[in-house]
Amino acid sequence: MNAPIVISGPAAWNRLVYLDHLPEPVPHMQFALDDYETIGGTSAGKALGLAGLGRPVLLHTLIADDDEGRRVRGALEASGVEFAALPATRTESHLNLMTRAGERVSLYLSSPADPGTPPSTELTQAMTDAPAIVLDLSERSRGLIDAARAAGTPIWTDIHDYDGTADFHRPFIDAADWIFMNADRIGDDPVPFMEECVRGGATVVVCTLGERGAIAVSTGGGDGDERMQLTEVPAEPVEVLDTNGAGDAFMAGVLDAHLAGASLADALAAGARHAATVLTTRHLHPALDGLLG
């Protein structure tokens, strides 16, 4: 059996409230268009996506033995995700104010603190055996960077809407072989920043552009060719129900295709196809439709 992909980062139980527009910072009243509870967390989304594609996954996350934690763990395990969890006093939980256009304000109701313990022997071995390690933004993941580097396994990270200056993201950027991001806060043209990351040591940097698809910057075609290569992929046409989790599904699709030996262009196309499947469900992955309704 293939060794599991190790993913470190958040899994949460969230309440999503949809509004016709995000609240203004003044006292007022709004009527919700819809609300429901579901699994959240960028690492949970990637784990669901990879498990749905048939990849074994080991999710390292902080989770409590509370109602929210049991719901998260039960649904993820039923979807094929294995856990290497650390106990927490409360499971992470958010109240997400959303619009149908994908705008979001996340209110953290609880956020478990990283105990700061070193990775267990079992987790260290899993990182060494894994075909890839995904380190999502969290204090726990930041503390695993040295161990992930020592494992010698390719590191993938997702810096989301990085603005180019935030200090917290920098260790992830410096450590990763593959970097994923979106263009929400990086400026009009993300390519210069992407090229900077490649010059700094990354193999590939991918930026998702919503309905415009995605672009990737990588080094040249081998034989000492150090020129930057730009690869583009269009978005898959789909009737969008909900954009939540599409970026995680895109990265999962790219990672799955890359491990199968696909070219960068084909891996990006696979990511776009996989992201489209998540756009048709209100959960992080269609596998949750039958579990959570």
Interval 83-92 mean pLDDT: 96
pLDDT of residue 143: 96
The dihedrals phi and psi of 11, each to the nearest 5 degrees, come to -130, 135
According to CATH, the topology of domain 5-22+31-114+127-292 is UDP-N-acetylmuramoyl-L-alanine:D-glutamate ligase (3.40.1190)
Give how far the C-alpha of residue 203 lies from the chain's centroid of Cα atoms, to the nearest Å. 18
Which band of pLDDT confidence, cut at 50, 70 and 90, is reported for residue 97?
Answer: very high
Which band of pLDDT confidence, cut at 50, 70 and 90, is reported for residue 227?
Answer: confident
Which band of pLDDT confidence, cut at 50, 70 and 90, is reported for residue 245?
Answer: confident
pLDDT digits (tens, 9 = 90+) for 66-81: 999 999 999 999 999 9
- 191 vs 188: CA distance, rounded Å: 9
What percent of the chain clears pLDDT 90, i.e. is strictly above it? Answer: 83
pLDDT digits (tens, 9 = 90+) for 253-277: 999 999 999 999 999 999 999 999 9
pLDDT of residue 186: 92
Average pLDDT, the chain: 94
pLDDT digits (tens, 9 = 90+) for 121-153: 999 999 999 999 999 999 999 999 999 999 999
pLDDT of residue 221: 55
Which band of pLDDT confidence, cut at 50, 70 and 90, is reported for residue 38?
Answer: very high
Interval 103-118 mean pLDDT: 93
pLDDT of residue 54: 97
pLDDT of residue 66: 96
pLDDT of residue 1: 55
**Domain spans of the chain, in order of start:** 5-22+31-114+127-292
pLDDT of residue 70: 97
Rounded to two decimals, the pTM is 0.94
- 200 vs 45: CA distance, rounded Å: 28
